[in-house]
Amino acid sequence: MNGGGSFTVAVASGKGGTGKTTVAVNLARSMGTRVTLLDCDVEEPNCTLFLYGGIITTREVGIPVPEVDESLCDACGECSRFCAYKAIVSVGSAPLVFPGMCHGCGGCALVCPRGAISEKESRIGTVERSECGSVTLVTGRLDVGMAMAPPLVRAVKECSRAGEPCIIDCPPGTSCPMIAAIRGADMVLLVTEPTPFGLHDLGLAVNAVAEVGIPAGIVVNRTGPEGLDVGAFAKERGIPVLLEIPDDRRAAEAYSRGELLVDAIPGWKSLFELLRERTVAMAGGRMTREFRQGRDRRPE
Partner 1 sequence: MREIVVVSGKGGTGKTSVSASLAVLAAPVVVVDCDVDAADTHMLLTPSPGRENAFLSGHMAVIDPGACTACGKCLELCRFDAVSGDTSGIYQIDPVGCEGCGVCARFCPSGAILMEERNCGVWMVSSARTGPLVHARLAPAAENSGRLVSLVRTEARRIASEKGLETVICDGPPGIGCPVIASVTGASMILAVTEPSLSALHDLERVLSLAAHFSVPSAVCINKHDINPDITERIESAMKERGVPVAGRIGYDPGFTRSLLTGMTVVETDSPTAAEIVRLWEELLSIGDSGDG
Instruction: Kindly list the residues in this chain that would bind partner 1 in the complex (CB under 8 A).
Output: 14-18, 21, 42-44, 46, 49, 82, 84-85, 103-107, 110-111, 142, 144-150, 154, 171-179, 183, 195-197, 200-201, 204, 207-208, 210-212, 226, 252-253, 255-258, 296-299
What are the distances in angstroms from CA 103 to CA 51, 70, 156, 230?
Answer: 32, 22, 17, 38
Please give the sequence-ordered ranges of beta strands (E in DSSP) within the chain, or none if there are none.
Answer: 8-12, 35-39, 55-68, 88-89, 96-97, 117-132, 135-142, 166-169, 187-192, 216-223, 241-246
Nearer to ligand SF4, 107 or 294 (CB): 107
Query: Which residue stretches of 166-260 are H helix?
Result: 176-182, 196-212, 230-237, 249-256
Residues in contact with ligand SF4 by CB under 6 A are 65-66, 68, 73-79, 82-83, 85, 87-88, 90, 94-95, 102-108, 112, 114, 116-117
Nearer to ligand SF4, 103 or 129 (CB): 103
Nearer to ligand SF4, 111 or 204 (CB): 111
Find the shortest distance in angstroms from Cβ 42 to ligand SF4: 20
Nearer to ligand SF4, 122 or 174 (CB): 122
Find the shortest distance in angstroms from Cβ 95 to ligand SF4: 5
CA–CA gap between residue 121 and residue 99 (Å, rounded): 10
Find the shortest distance in angstroms from Cβ 146 to ligand SF4: 14
Find the shortest distance in angstroms from Cβ 75 to partner 1: 20
Find the shortest distance in angstroms from Cβ 53 to partner 1: 17
Q: Which of ligand SF4, partner 1, none lies near 168, with the C-beta cut-off 5 to 8 A by kind? A: none
Name the pairing type of β-strands 216-223 and 187-192: parallel
Nearer to ligand SF4, 63 or 234 (CB): 63
Task: Concatenate the DSSP letters of all residues of 249-293 into one string.
Answer: HHHHHHHHTT--HHHHSTTHHHHHHHHHHHHHHHHHHHIIIIIHH
Q: How far apart are the first and last CA of the chain?
A: 34
CA–CA gap between residue 244 and residue 284 (Å, rounded): 21
Nearer to ligand SF4, 97 or 135 (CB): 97
Q: Which of partner 1, ligand SF4, none lies near 79, with the C-beta cut-off 5 to 8 A by kind? A: ligand SF4
Helix (H, G, I), strand (E, B) or coil at 176: helix
